[in-house]
Structure 1
């Protein structure tokens, strides 16, 4: 079966999840191609799709200004499905049997999806957050408007055109009704079932996978030593791509650490300098307020180093307030390190108390601290963590479940007639709502282009002046060379001979 997978990136949380499914499908004998907008992995089965058209540059500017740069501090990302990379790429998937969409913000538009469906391709959309069912946000922070209309988005600082509501209405009107939704967690499946967009769609739950041959335990003492810790040091790990994002629970982590310091066992570790918090992700000044030694490793994408970090840790603290099925939870378990997490999202599917970690009532930072202390004080779960990951999260486990779903849909679609109608490049409702925004983005982009042209002309003039000076100096050198006396030339020759003698 030929499978076309689409993901905006091939890296990051959602991109890595799509890449792992792609690799797993090829590993079990299927023919999968991963189409991306941003390619970082050197693999000839990953194809980068780009469009140099000016209208896409305008949409990029529009989405940046109206969505990605237009959220309150601490909120989640907001984005749109625009710009599409155009429609020429559709010719490249004509002989594919099925299309699997993943995280496609700023990559595949609503119009593209309908065009794909009208080609007769069954579509499976794997959700990695709530954005496909909302008008803008990727996590709702408890907002329930996605169940009806997404009017007056509470996460956007400026929403004078009510774009989120318009985009949600367009999704309701134009998204093909037979798209099958897959979510990695039951929580996200429940969100989809309650959403205005997907409540009448078929929804399946298939957890993510990971490379259990890469993410595996290594000797804990050696791993600690590699990070600069003694064998007796207890290590608490916390990681997030952006520590400033409120839903990741970094503020709660600081409060958890305050409670941890009150524990008698932990206070003894601190006195003996045998406790350290390790973080990876973009740093935050709040780390200094914890008053416990910490090591911030910054953003890390090296899998061997990640394996060392997970293996060195005695517990992963995961205080997310909203999350789907974080890769770092699966990676930590595969390396034998238990997880303490709030009982939210995909953590409810995975964490089993006293077997591979602990679930804690949301925002109960005191109990969270107690569970971390209990884990550090000899509650061994390493063996079960590893066996649980091997049984449930190997690449082929996920790939086989997807293959079964794909085959079922492919067999069904062969007997279904597809009504082919013309799909516009941009639906009228969206074009009308975004017209002013697009004009603003066009003007701003033209100003940037004009500024770039002025700067380019300035640099050209500087280069011309420098070249003139170089030519002048070269002429001066020629003149001085011509004026050299025979005695001067003789002295040069004598000096060269003397220097050779000295060198010998």
Structure 2
């Protein structure tokens, strides 16, 4: 079976690591999987991942910058997570695409998938699998809609464009809905993103499968807390709370909640914060003395140590398609505090592997932290043991790859149950 994985991000990003892990598991299972797209350079040959050449990417990048510049002149400042279909790569002209039995769009965004690619998809007779890693495949250009639900009525008058009377976003939704064609199948990485897709105009009449994101479990283990804290220079006897995101100051990632938490515990000498991701100085100025920031983490060893060093991990994000750090922390034997109405409620068992609190309620997060602090050390450790057991098999690349293989085989046999 030949499968081409269309990827619009580097494989060392959060989404990219999950894609790579499943791709490698597919290769190990005997699937002729090939990755194609905006991946990083110097990847090993046996990974079978090809980066689109610069001479093809460069003109597309220039055209997209010009397009976004025109939008900015018309509507004002445009958020970085907004990009309607404009110009993209001609991935449908590649050998990997032509040889594939199944076309799998693993991460879709405008600078990768241009109109020519969409027209090729509409003509396809082969199965096309779309993994919904965010909301872009069924919105008018945003990857996450926040509190906006205009995708349920076809977009238009987009709040990101000032709520003006515009047709860019509604035309984008209509274009996507028309060009998916009948051969496209959709896979959400959480029940929450699946429900949003089912409410959308673009995908409302489609069957939405759910296959969770994968986490490379072989690189995550429960390191002895004392050793992890010593390696990271963290205090040995304090209650350590960890949290992290690509950008800690991003409102969608729960920045307001984190600011409240840091202020509540600013003078508490029994608590120490351990944060990773950019934006700490923007999140808290000044950064509390009982907080250690590690910036962006690229190596798995340090990330493993941070998760393991913590007594509890806080996941304050208000909107996610999956929430990979939740699974990663639990895989390292650390219970997690997350929010209801996010995918965390699909991962955390309240009172067993962590705690779930009211969406957006910073004081409820404080209460959950105090609940964890009040537990005897053996009880809190049991939470961690249960957390690891809950995720170690369910989200492994091998388990997720098996689900995709079953889907591929059913599509090729004509059985799309």
Distance 2:316 2:67 in 1: 30
Q: Alpha-carbon deviations, 1:254-290, whole Å to 9, x = none? A: 22344456xxxxx7xx33xx42111111123332357
- Which of 312, 317, 335 is equivalent to 1:315? 312
The 8 Å contact of residues 158 and 166 in structure 2, kept in 1 or not, is answered as no
- Which of 57, 60, 63 is equivalent to 1:56? 60
1:94 aligns with 2:90: no
Give the stretch that moved more between structures: 371-380 or 276-285: 371-380
Aligned match of 2:347: 350
Gaps of 5+ in 2: none
1:281 aligns with 2:277: yes
SS in 2 for 1:155: helix
Give the stretch that moved more between structures: 191-200 or 320-329: 320-329
Distance 2:298 2:357 in 1: 29
Going from structure 1 to structure 2, the CA distance change for 1:66 and 1:249 (only over 3 Å counts) comes to farther
- Which of 49, 65, 83 is equivalent to 1:46? 49
Distance 1:216 1:109 in 2: 41
Going from structure 1 to structure 2, the CA distance change for 1:218 and 1:41 (only over 3 Å counts) comes to farther
Distance 1:402 1:206 in 2: 8
The 8 Å contact of residues 126 and 182 in structure 1, kept in 2 or not, is answered as yes
Q: Alpha-carbon deviations, 1:38-71, whole Å to 9, x = none? A: 3256232111123635752442213543679988
Q: Alpha-carbon deviations, 1:278-332, whole Å to 9, x = none? A: 1111123332357451111111111111111111111111111111112211111
- Which of 397, 411, 414 is equivalent to 1:412? 414
- Which of 185, 189, 202 is equivalent to 1:197? 202
Give the stretch that moved more between structures: 374-383 or 314-323: 374-383
Distance 2:346 2:307 in 1: 21
SS in 2 for 1:412: coil
- TM-score, with normalisation over the residues of structure 2? 0.89
Distance 2:197 2:72 in 1: 23
Residue correspondence of structure 1 range 230-245 to structure 2 within 5 A: 230-245=235-250
Q: Please report how far the alpha carbon of residue 219 of structure 1 lies from its aligned counterpart in structure 2 after TM superposition.
A: 0.9
Residue correspondence of structure 1 range 422-461 to structure 2 within 5 A: none
Distance 1:67 1:28 in 2: 46
Q: Alpha-carbon deviations, 1:328-370, whole Å to 9, x = none? A: 1111111111110111221121011122111101122112111
Give the stretch that moved more between structures: 169-178 or 190-199: 169-178
Distance 2:148 2:230 in 1: 45
Aligned match of 1:366: 363
Distance 2:15 2:115 in 1: 19
Distance 1:68 1:225 in 2: 49
Aligned match of 1:401: 403
Gaps of 5+ in 1: 262-266, 415-504
Aligned match of 1:26: 27
1:340 aligns with 2:337: yes
Q: Please report how far the alpha carbon of residue 91 of structure 1 lies from its aligned counterpart in structure 2 after TM superposition.
A: 3.7
Residue correspondence of structure 1 range 103-118 to structure 2 within 5 A: 103-105=107-109, 106-116=111-121, 118=123
- Which of 225, 228, 233 is equivalent to 2:230? 225
Distance 1:83 1:365 in 2: 41
Aligned match of 1:330: 327
Distance 1:100 1:94 in 2: 13
Distance 1:413 1:34 in 2: 25
Give the stretch that moved more between structures: 163-172 or 282-291: 282-291
Aligned match of 2:372: 375
The 8 Å contact of residues 252 and 319 in structure 1, kept in 2 or not, is answered as yes
SS in 2 for 1:121: coil
SS in 1 for 2:234: coil
The 8 Å contact of residues 67 and 80 in structure 1, kept in 2 or not, is answered as no
Distance 1:184 1:376 in 2: 32
Distance 1:333 1:63 in 2: 42
Larger Rg belongs to: 1
Q: Please report how far the alpha carbon of residue 116 of structure 1 lies from its aligned counterpart in structure 2 after TM superposition.
A: 3.8
Distance 1:293 1:250 in 2: 18
The 8 Å contact of residues 71 and 77 in structure 1, kept in 2 or not, is answered as no
Going from structure 1 to structure 2, the CA distance change for 1:245 and 1:391 (only over 3 Å counts) comes to same
Going from structure 1 to structure 2, the CA distance change for 1:411 and 1:41 (only over 3 Å counts) comes to farther
1:305 aligns with 2:271: no
The 8 Å contact of residues 133 and 188 in structure 2, kept in 1 or not, is answered as yes
Going from structure 1 to structure 2, the CA distance change for 1:362 and 1:68 (only over 3 Å counts) comes to farther
Aligned-residue Cα RMSD (Å) equals: 2.6
